[in-house]
Amino acid sequence: MIPVAEPDLKGNELKYVTDCVVTEWISSLGKYVRAFEERMAEFCGRRYAVSTCNGTAALHLALVTLGIGPGDEVIVPALTFVATANAVSYTGATPVFVDAERDYWQLDPSLLEGLINERTKAIMPVDLYGHPADMDAINEIAQRHHLYVIEDAAEAHGALYKGQPCGSFGDISCFSFFGNKVITTGEGGMLLMDDADLCERARFLHNHAMSTTERYFHPEIGYNYRLTNVQAALGLAQAERLDEFVRIKRDNAALYAEHLADVPGITLAPEADWARNVYWMYSILIDDDYPISRNAFQVALKERGVDTRPFFRAIHTMPCHQREESFPVAEYLSARGVNLPSSVKLTPENIAYICQQIAELAG
């Protein structure tokens, strides 16, 4: 079976993790935590970074750091991984959903203003499947209405918006380093920002809100959201290879596009002329004129040894975040989208084989 995602840990991962074990610095103190944070901040051109135990914790901590809580509203894409909306709910605030646009599958900035009211505090754009959201349009609206922007860049390490790295936008940007992400620490996350006070506040809250001057004095309720030195050791080794991974993922995407160019009934992964898509997941839409449904397509590929994933389910269609309204583009994409195998370990032969199966199924 060709997997959808698979990490590549063949750089300095073993060396750095071994160093943690040999020196017995395995908890959240240790040199790799700061080294990994500094490396990611530098990669994104951000001044500050705070690592966390996962990406969802990073999103939650970003919201809490900005003071968002009960009674507030935060605008979140209807088409994203559920964690983006859950992080808002954890604070007691309400996620308000915004539909996607058809061209690049990102949140549609033209719909934002209709959703803003006096309770709205922030917008959380997501760089979905590795393609940046339209940050200029989002930032312009946020500035006009005095809203915070929290970029969920969990799927877009190494992607660019108008030449600027994803993970550098908004008041705070967040990464995940889960096992299937562009770079991984197994589980892990990070907040990045340029404001020293926000960094200090996030660092304080993620360490049980413990006073930095009096040990075991906690002026408020904080969290244990720390990353361990062992995870950061993996992360540093992965970050050293981020440019290489981006190159491979883009080469693989180009190969997919070449092989699939003449297959009828599918829509290929888009890339805006203002974007560098990192193709976290190389994704296609199974259009209505393809001979079989998206679900049948996934079953057929599995029988031929190719694993796939469906697009995320639109968040407002699930019991935990049910809404009366419909978000037609999110629903359209969610019903038709498939993530094809996207690991950096894919060979050109793997991609040729996968595309041959897709062409055969097209009839």
What does the angle CA 226 – CA 232 – CA 217 come to, to the nearest 5 degrees? 25
User: Is 126 a residue that touches ligand PLP (CB under 6 A)?
Assistant: yes
Count CB-CB contacts under 10 A for residue 289: 9
- Report the candidate in 258, 354, 312 with the shortest Cα–Cα distance to residue 79: 312
Stretch that binds ligand PLP, among 75-83, 103-111, 134-142, 249-257 (CB under 6 A): 75-83
Residues of this chain, 29-58, that bind ligand PLP according to CB under 6 A? 54-56
Question: What is the nearest approach in angstroms of ligand PLP to the Cβ of residue 89?
Answer: 13
Map tokens 């413990």 to a residue. 210
How many residues at the interface with ligand PLP, by CB under 6 A?
14
Question: What is the nearest approach in angstroms of ligand PLP to the Cβ of residue 170?
Answer: 14
User: Is 151 a residue that touches ligand PLP (CB under 6 A)?
Assistant: no
- Please list, residue by residue across 223-239, b when 16 or more beta carbons sit within 10 angstroms of its beta carbon and e when fewer do: bebbbbbbbbbbbbbbb
Write the CB contacts of 146 (distance below 8 Å, at least 6 apart in sequence).
Answer: none
- Report the candidate in 138, 173, 145, 162 with the shortest Cα–Cα distance to residue 65: 173
Question: What is the nearest approach in angstroms of ligand PLP to the Cβ of residue 86?
Answer: 9
Beta strands in 226-297 (DSSP E): 266-267, 275-276, 283-286
Q: Is the Cβ of residue 106 or residue 266 nearer to ligand PLP in the bound state? A: 106
- Please list, residue by residue across 188-221, b when 16 or more beta carbons sit within 10 angstroms of its beta carbon and e when fewer do: bbbbbbeeeebbebbbbbbbbeeeeeeeeeeeee
User: Is 342 a residue that touches ligand PLP (CB under 6 A)?
Assistant: no
User: Is 124 a residue that touches ligand PLP (CB under 6 A)?
Assistant: no
Question: What is the nearest approach in angstroms of ligand PLP to the Cβ of residue 52?
Answer: 9
Q: Is the Cβ of residue 108 or residue 259 nearer to ligand PLP in the bound state? A: 108
3-class secondary-structure state, position 297: helix
* Residue selected from 105, 178, 204, 297 as contacting ligand PLP according to rule CB under 6 A: 178
Question: What is the nearest approach in angstroms of ligand PLP to the Cβ of residue 308?
Answer: 17
Question: What is the nearest approach in angstroms of ligand PLP to the Cβ of residue 110?
Answer: 22
Residues that bind ligand PLP (CB under 6 A): 54-56, 80-81, 83-84, 126, 152, 154-155, 176, 178, 189
